Amino acid sequence: MRILLTNDDGYLSAGISLLRSALREKGHRVLVVAPDKERSAVSKALTLHRPLRMRKIGEDFYITDGTPNDCIYLALGVLEEGYPDLVVSGINLGANLGDDVIYSGTVGAAILATHFRIPSIAFSFAGKEVESLSPVAEKAAELVDLLSRKPLPDVTLNINFPSPPWKGIRVTKMGRKKYRPEIITREDPRGEKYYWIGVGSPVATPDSETDIKAVGEGFISVTPIHSDMTSYQHLEELRSIFHEIS
Ligand SMILES: [Mg+2]
């Protein structure tokens, strides 16, 4: 397969280089277009108010000073002749579970691919230990091969790995996390205030079928996500409200 690979942790991240190697070992042609520095939590941001630069640093390996979504646009618009068979994003160092999906640049880049009807997968590692990244990359490449048997062009698969060994794979729904970000307020050396948004301690809503629960119990979580954000369950209710007042 022809695979386009990006991430939001930047091209120097062990997550993207191990995944690139694992996919190439399986015989895939892997084109990497990745940000030149960490761009975590940029979601689906596009750079529209300044020019972008792209530099080749290796065989089928490019870096840009843009966001993960910029990388996808440049790859499809400048580098690729025809669309790739699959867009892969990651492996992100850190989980992308529940409400994290809204902020994640890793998942954002994968979701963009579905706008072009290209199958896409976002991989994230919820563990901390660096030595587990190699087995995660191997497993991710295995899952790419498995999923390529039945490509799903209208959906992004958000796949999260806990630390190995894994108990199995669960197909899950996106959970909910209640975030109350800690805003740290300090003073710089010139006496000016600055603010730093922290993560706080998010609380997961208890639900047995979620990605959060699956990863918490040692399972690899696979969540299908689509980019149609319509709340279908509210359509009729809203139509009746607007019908009443019009
Ligand atoms: Mg990241």
Kindly state the average pLDDT of the residues 27-52.
97
Q: What is the pTM of this model?
A: 0.95
Domain that holds residue 35: 2-175+205-245
Query: Beta 86-93 vs 2-6: how paired, if at all?
Result: parallel
130: number of CA atoms within 13 Å, CB side?
Answer: 3
User: How many angstroms does the Cα of residue 188 sit away from the middle of ligand 1?
Assistant: 27
Kindly state the average pLDDT of the residues 106-133.
96
User: How many angstroms does the Cα of residue 229 sit away from the middle of ligand 1?
Assistant: 23
- At 135 the pLDDT is 98
pLDDT tens track for 169-219: 999 999 998 888 889 999 999 999 999 998 778 888 878 899 999 999 999
Of 37, 177, 27, which Cα lies nearest the Cα of 103? Answer: 177
CB atoms within 10 A of CB 132: 16
Q: How far apart are CA 71 and CA 80, in angstroms?
A: 12
Helix and strand tally (H, E) in the chain?
A: 7, 13
Q: How far apart are CA 19 and CA 79, in angstroms?
A: 21
- At 81 the pLDDT is 80
Instruction: Give a yes or no: residue 193 inside a domain.
Output: no
- At 9 the pLDDT is 98
**Total domain count, the chain:** 1
- At 246 the pLDDT is 64
User: How many angstroms does the Cα of residue 113 sit away from the middle of ligand 1?
Assistant: 18
User: How many angstroms does the Cα of residue 238 sit away from the middle of ligand 1?
Assistant: 37
Q: How far apart are CA 27 and CA 38, in angstroms?
A: 28
Query: Beta 177-178 vs 54-58: how paired, if at all?
Result: unpaired
- At 50 the pLDDT is 98
Task: Give the CATH number of the domain where residue 92 resides.
Answer: 3.40.1210.10
pLDDT at 56 over 90: yes
Instruction: Give a yes or no: residue 42 inside a domain.
Output: yes
Instruction: Give a yes or no: residue 137 inside a domain.
Output: yes
As to burial, measured by CB atoms within 10 angstroms (0-12 exposed, 13-18 middle, 19+ buried), residue 47 is middle
Instruction: Give a yes or no: residue 158 inside a domain.
Output: yes
User: How many angstroms does the Cα of residue 16 sit away from the middle of ligand 1?
Assistant: 11
User: How many angstroms does the Cα of residue 7 sit away from the middle of ligand 1?
Assistant: 7
pLDDT category at 153 given cuts 50, 70, 90 is: confident
Task: Please state whether 82 falls in left (phi above 0), alpha (psi between -120 and 50) or beta.
Answer: left
Non-local (6+) Cβ contacts of 186 within 8 A are 193, 194, 196
- At 201 the pLDDT is 82
User: How many angstroms does the Cα of residue 48 sit away from the middle of ligand 1?
Assistant: 22
Instruction: Give a yes or no: residue 200 inside a domain.
Output: no
Question: What residue type is assigned to position 24 of the chain?
Answer: R
User: How many angstroms does the Cα of residue 232 sit away from the middle of ligand 1?
Assistant: 31
Task: Please state whether 122 falls in left (phi above 0), alpha (psi between -120 and 50) or beta.
Answer: beta
Q: How far apart are CA 6 and CA 113, in angstroms?
A: 11
User: How many angstroms does the Cα of residue 239 sit away from the middle of ligand 1?
Assistant: 40
Instruction: Give a yes or no: residue 31 inside a domain.
Output: yes
Q: What does the mean pLDDT of the chain come to?
A: 95
Instruction: Give a yes or no: residue 102 inside a domain.
Output: yes
Instruction: Give a yes or no: residue 187 inside a domain.
Output: no
- At 154 the pLDDT is 87
